[in-house]
Chain A
Amino acid sequence: MGSLTGFRRFARMGLGGALLLLATGVVGDSAVTEGSKAAGLETCVAPTAEIRRNHMDYLKHDRDATVRKGIRDTRFSLAECVQCHAEKDSAGAYKPVNAEGQFCESCHSYVAVNLTCFQCHSKTPGSAGDKAAMRDDKRNGRQALGLLQSIDPLTLRRDELARLHATIEGN
């Protein structure tokens, strides 16, 4: 029994080390669906491991803030999960995130956890005809930049971004 525990511990350390290597080195295998907006981003709204472990609690917390208090700029939002993780098919239409093999479904089916969000919530990002979604986009575009109102942060290199932040703080 003791040797097994020791082995397990060794395995965990090894895994931790491997994770560190992954984090510091090249981006490794990812669960993110190719062709989704998320595939082009470096990380989710929090470190991937944290999101994997805690996304359900985060979403549950922020949904109450949104529904009850009308706070729409929460850090975690299901609509933004869908916005970022939906993949387009060859015709350019979004695939539902809970369809087989798609981002939400693939993991939930692997761990055998029911995915009930999409019984009520939209499975695809708002279409062009969806005025509410367009407004959300517009608003998020404004909000996501924080202090950098006029610049799309994704177009900046990291050192450029650091310089901008330094300027703003120094002011």
Chain B
Amino acid sequence: MSHNNDQPDLRRRDFIGKTVLAAGAASIAPGVMLTVANAGSDAGVSSKVRWGMLIDANKCADGCSACVAACNQENGIDLIERPAGQSDAMWDAQRPQWIHKVKLKDNLTGEITNLPMMCQHCEHPPCVDVCPTGASFKRADGLVMVDRHTCIGCRYCMMACPYKARSFIHQDVAAQRTGTPRGKGCVESCNLCVQRLDAGDQTTACQDACNREGYQAILFGDLKNPDSEIARALKAHNSRQIRADLELNTGVRYSNI
């Protein structure tokens, strides 16, 4: 049956195009086979692991901020430039901070406690509950992360987080590290140095820095592996979740607070 229109026969064109392409590809192919072998596995991270942290507040030194500096360096936060004309107060309030030092004082005794505070990597993260696009998500191995491809910058998660762990990028960012993309209009927070974990390392930048300073206040590892150092430490010593009343089952625990 013939059609009286001026539309081309797309199927025929498609066939011719594909044939020519296939012939072309076949003649290039010998050089390609090698890279095809590089195609990745599709298993991904497993829920048999849950990454967590145990922080000993007794070992966390007053005045030391090595963990903060190391985090800033590892995750490219130090590459963010202060916008021209921004006041000190605004810059301090708005610049991203994945980890910050908190100093607590007991008003009755005067006792001072220092501790680093960051995303607590909850088992039931409120930030994930409230995210309207699914950008805030929990990975199978327990990391709570932001998928910046789908983040619309609404900042609900910042409101929902009981730990004030998240930051918003307010201005264009000129330079990023390869492992930590970053741009205006997205929320971000500590991801337990996911680029290191995925590369097979089992330490975070803050932990390395703390050990380098000789304090060893941060212990990082797999909570689900009963033989891991962190699991044994949690079993042996008293530790607390911050705001345990919220029943979020945080992955970051503190001792001596």
Give A residues with C-beta under 8 Å from B: 1, 5, 9, 12-13, 16-17, 19-20, 23-24, 42-50, 62-65, 67-75, 79, 82, 119-122, 125-126, 130-133, 135-136, 139, 143-144, 146-147, 153, 158, 161
Contact = CB atoms under 8 A, between A and B. Distances in A.
Nearest to B79: A122
Contact of A45 (B16, B35, B145): B35
Contacts of B45: 69-70
B28 A72 contact: no
Contacts of A62: 40
Contact of B38 (A23, A47, A64, A75): A75
Contacts of B23: 20
Contacts of A50: 21, 25
Nearest to B45: A70
Contact of A70 (B6, B173, B186, B198): B198
Counting chain B residues whose Cβ lies within 8 A of the other chain, the interface size class is 35 or more
B31 A42 contact: yes
Instruction: Classify the interface of chain B: helix, strand, loop or mixed.
Output: loop
B21 A120 contact: no
B183 A120 contact: yes
A125 B181 contact: no
A9 to B, nearest CB: 8
Contact of B177 (A63, A122, A144): A122
A67 B182 CA distance: 13
A121 to B, nearest CB: 5
Contacts of A153: 34
A147 B37 CA distance: 9
A39 B184 CA distance: 33
Interface in B10-43: 13, 16-17, 20-21, 23-25, 27-32, 34-43
Interface string B178-193: 1111111010000000
Contacts of B31: 42-43, 158
Contact of A122 (B137, B148, B176): B176
Contact of B44 (A69, A136, A161): A69
B195 A16 contact: no
Contacts of B149: 63-64, 67
B27 A24 contact: yes
A47 B184 contact: no
Q: Which 10 residue pairs across A and B have the least CB separation, nearest first? A: A69-B44, A132-B179, A120-B183, A16-B20, A73-B40, A70-B45, A146-B37, A42-B31, A75-B39, A120-B181
A143 B199 CA distance: 11
B199 A5 contact: no
Interface of B: 6, 8, 13, 16-17, 20-21, 23-25, 27-32, 34-45, 74, 137, 139-141, 145, 147-149, 172-173, 175-184, 186, 194-201
B180 A158 contact: no
Nearest to B30: A158
21 contacts: A9-B13, A12-B16, A13-B16, A16-B21, A24-B27, A43-B31, A46-B35, A49-B21, A64-B149, A65-B40, A68-B137, A70-B194, A73-B41, A74-B40, A79-B178, A119-B184, A121-B181, A130-B179, A132-B196, A133-B177, A146-B38
A49 B22 CA distance: 10
Given A132-B178, A133-B178, A20 B38 contact: no
B25 A120 contact: no
A120 B40 contact: no
A120 B186 contact: yes
Given A43-B31, A45-B38, A120-B183, A67 B145 contact: yes
